[in-house]
Chain A
Amino acid sequence: AQKITQTQPGMFVQEKEAVTLDCTYDTSDQSYGLFWYKQPSSGEMIFLIYQGSYDEQNATEGRYSLNFQKARKSANLVISASQLGDSAMYFCAMSPWGGSEKLVFGKGTKLTVNP
């Protein structure tokens, strides 16, 4: 079975600073995908970034980067230059076979960006 652990129920960051949201995972699969989604208070789930288990380079998408440490089974999300609009719930998820089949989600981290 796959499991995602997000140990930070809430995080605070000052506007324009960087923040790291932690995610560790557990799986016996050799091939898997790791995802981060953002859920603002409006409720929609917004895809942020993807990392495949065989990707050697860390994924980056604009201000988002994924710090992938395969041996430690961690996939932390780094948000650079935080903005007030980044305040939201952030979910780490994985799919067992490296493609977009069912997603297993962590409990989420609530990020608050302070002005």
Chain B
Amino acid sequence: GAGVSQSPSNKVTEKGKDVELRCDPISGHTALYWYRQSLGQGLEFLIYFQGNSAPDKSGLPSDRFSAERTGGSVSTLTIQRTQQEDSAVYLCASSPPPTNNEQFFGPGTRLTVL
């Protein structure tokens, strides 16, 4: 497939557990973004990667959240000690070089923390 893919599509976990969300960007896209969409907060930026480095991680809500990107491709968003307020849809997007006008979004991972 040519689009951004995310896995899993749905994740249900218990409060206090750690979760990992994966994003496969479109091949050749150097920029990668994570966003969170929840009913109360709308769409919020979490972190931006250019290659493997993260020049902007200002949106990560707490130190329980971390992300990495390897090989300039796949990215993993990790949430430690999940809380109920972490329940949301986590969206990944990528865009090609040079800095481009359009971000291509994946289908999202719906996270439910019980």
Contacts and interface: CB of A to CB of B under 8 A. Distances in A.
A43 B101 CA distance: 21
Interface residues of A, number: 23
B45 A43 contact: no
Contacts of B23: none
B101 A33 contact: yes
B59 A102 contact: yes
Given A47-B104, A99-B100, A101-B31, 19 more contacts: A33-B101, A44-B106, A44-B107, A44-B108, A46-B105, A47-B103, A50-B101, A50-B102, A52-B101, A91-B43, A93-B43, A100-B31, A100-B103, A101-B48, A102-B59, A103-B33, A103-B45, A105-B42, A105-B43
13 contacts: A35-B101, A43-B89, A45-B105, A91-B43, A99-B101, A100-B31, A100-B100, A100-B102, A101-B56, A101-B99, A103-B33, A105-B43, A108-B43
